[in-house]
Amino acid sequence: MKEGLKIKSIKRISIQDLLILDHERFYIVNKPSGLSSLNDRSSPDLCLDNLAEAYHPGSILCHRLDKFTSGAMIIAKDETAYRYFSIQFQERLVIKHYNAIVAGVHNFQNKEVDFPIYKSSNGSLRIDYAEGKPALTIFNTLEQFKHFTLLDCEPVTGRMHQIRLHLAAIRTSIAGDELYGGKDILLSSFKRNYKYAMHEERPLNQGYMLHARSLTFNIPDQEEPISVEAPYFNNWEVVLKILRKYDK
């Protein structure tokens, strides 16, 4: 896969378009934003699970990403490989790094956010010290702009929406993440004398800016762990290019 991969239409993609690594026991894909991991009501026939089954019958997703979170995912080719990776995730042996673009200028150096997360019966999530389950994320600044910051996010635990909730809790919401208070990236907000011809300016981001950048894990029959990096998709490359040009 090339850096800055452009997905013209999710409806026409296949696993071959997303492959990062193909091992005899498993494979790694770079899931685009907008593609569900499993079936959902909005697109019951189009999801990563179905694409994986078409590519290799018997494939099993070893973990999930939110629909609008892009990046690296491990898919097992059989039950034995799935159990192998499940144990690694359960024992927190898989090291996960995400990249996020957030509003504001932040200088995080191994900043630990240790806020418990509670999932209610209706599926909503919140920080809750009384009933929440332990959740720890480590944040580091990768690049600063005048109005935004590129972060590395390492979720030590694996709670649903963990990174999004933790960033919102410290008033550092992810750009475009409306559910947790994130605002869109508008070129007019930082480019001088910017004018647009349309009735309403379109945001630079397409959804929220969270990308599962890398995974480090053990594989069967090999002593040393391996690391796999998921390249940014084209939208990420465009946003970063514009920020580096007009928001430095």
Q: Is 195 helix (H, G, I), strand (E, B) or coil?
A: coil
114 carries an active-site annotation: no
Kindly name the residue from 17, 66, 78, 184 that is annotated as catalytic: 66
Cα separation, 51 vs 57, whole angstroms: 10
Give Cβ neighbours of residue 98 (< 8 Å, ≥ 6 apart): 69, 71, 152, 153, 154, 155, 163, 210, 211, 212, 213
232: helix, coil or strand? coil
**SS in 3 state form for 94-110?**
CEEEEEEEEECCCCCCC
How far, in Å, CA of 216 to CA of 9, rounded? 30
| Residue 25: DSSP 8-state | S
131-160: buried (b, 16+ CB within 10 Å) or exposed (e) per residue? ebeebbbbbebeebbeebbbbbbbbeeebe
Shortest CA distance to 142 belongs to which of 62, 243, 25, 36? Answer: 243
- How crowded is residue 71: how many other Cβ atoms within 10 Å of its Cβ? 26
| Cα radius of gyration rounded to whole Å, the chain | 18
How wide is the angle at C-alpha 62 spanned by C-alphas 226 and 207, nearest 5°? 95
Provide the token pair at 174. Answer: 């992810």
The set of catalytic residues is 66
